[in-house]
Amino acid sequence: MNDSKYPPPDADGWVPWIGQPDGRFHDLLGQMYFRVTPNGVESKMDTDRRHSNGLGYLHGGFLMSFVDMAMFAIIRPRFTTGEGAVTLSCATDFLTGGVPGTPLEAHGEVLKETGKLFFVRGLITQGGANVCSFTGTMRKITRRTLPGAVGPGAVGSDAVAPNDAPASRAR
């Protein structure tokens, strides 16, 4: 992936999801990395205590946020200039408890792509153990500036809005 929005990959091909913190939701989670391999797109993220629940395991909300970001990494190489996507549905099955301090990895694939939709599935692993599986549907959109948007990234290609019908009517 040679997209100017992303820094160059490290020696193992991992690229940071964001170059610099920009005040958006993903900053709260920590840095995610992705790479494109012959077997598809892989994502990884370090974990720590802030990602844990009251029992000491990784919080389900954190895992689902990582799943959502991983789904975007999976479809990202298929975007054309000016194209983005929004999540229409995401199903996550928790298979075992994840533990803070060990990185998570996501592997997935696009099952089908239509003119407006991506259908994806994947698996989150930690230290070789399956933590959760996921499926999702993503709707393609045209990137444009949102009316009234303010702050970093509000103007230009980073702010997105659907180019036609709301997601609830797009199915």
User: 168 Cβ partners below 8 Å, 6+ apart?
Assistant: none
Q: What is the DSSP letter of 135?
A: E
Structural domain boundaries of the chain? 15-169
pLDDT, position 156: 44
Q: Whole-angstrom Cα distance, residue 122 to residue 95?
A: 13
CA 60, CA 132: separation in Å to the nearest integer?
Answer: 10
Position 4 pLDDT exceeds 80: no
* Domain 15-169: top CATH class: alpha beta
The model's pTM is 0.80
Residue 16 has pLDDT above 80, yes or no: yes
Q: In what order do the strands lie in the sheet with 15-16?
A: 15-16, 32-37, 40-45, 104-113, 117-126, 129-142, 83-94
Convert the pLDDT of each residue in 91-127 to its tens digit: 999 999 999 999 999 999 999 999 999 999 999 999 9
Residue, of 89 and 164, whose pLDDT is higher: 89
CA–CA dist 92, 131 (Å, integer): 10
Is residue 169 over pLDDT 50?
no
